[in-house]
Amino acid sequence: MERRTAQELLDRLHRAQNEYNAAGDSRGLSDVLACDVRWSVPGDNSLARVYIGVPEVLDYMERRRQLAACTLRLVRRDVLVGRGQRIAAVTDGVALRSGKVRTWGTAGLYEVADGRIRRFWMLPLEAADFDAIWSCRE
């Protein structure tokens, strides 16, 4: 995959996620996710599991949106591409949780089919911090 194509797809994804986080508008997300999308969130936190299909992924994003009181913002930092339909990206997040601004970084692996995200695997750069941010025990 061309680097520019990968960047454009991830920019569309993050723009759609940020719009959803702020206003609850999922139209952009539906346009960038494959109907059989699988979204994997690791860890020991309230969001950790594999979400299958657009409705489950949107449910995950809504739960995350509510936990962050509509303050979550994602910023793509770097993209790695090669041959094939996979993209690796470093993304930072920031959200208000329990009255504190929290930040984290992730590496994400995306599998693309027909110009849409079909699979996503997340790797938090600081797993314990990520779990603490998204834990209901915070």
| Distance between CA atoms of residues 122 and 131, nearest Å | 13
How many residues are recorded in the chain? 138
* Number of domains forming the structure of the chain: 1
Q: Is residue 20 part of a domain?
A: yes
User: Mean pLDDT over all residues of the chain?
Assistant: 94
| Distance between CA atoms of residues 77 and 74, nearest Å | 10
Task: Classify residue 99 by burial, with Cβ atoms within 10 Å: 0-12, 13-18, 19+.
Answer: exposed
pTM of the model: 0.93
Q: Which domain holds residue 116?
A: 3-133
Q: Is residue 97 part of a domain?
A: yes
Model confidence pLDDT, tens digit, residues 66-123: 999 999 999 999 999 989 999 999 999 999 988 899 999 999 999 999 999 999 999 9
Three-class DSSP category at 123:
strand
- Nearby residues of 103 by Cβ (< 8 Å), 6 or more positions away: 92, 93, 94
Q: Is residue 88 part of a domain?
A: yes
Return the amino acid letter for 14. Answer: H
**What CA–CA distances, in Å, run from 36 to 12, 57, 104, 137?**
19, 10, 28, 32
- Whose CA is closest to 43, among 110, 109, 106, 92? 106
Q: How many CB atoms lie within 10 A of CB 78?
A: 10
Residue 40 has pLDDT above 70, yes or no: yes
Instruction: Return the CATH number at 38.
Output: 3.10.450.50
Return the amino acid letter for 88. Answer: A
Q: Is residue 138 part of a domain?
A: no
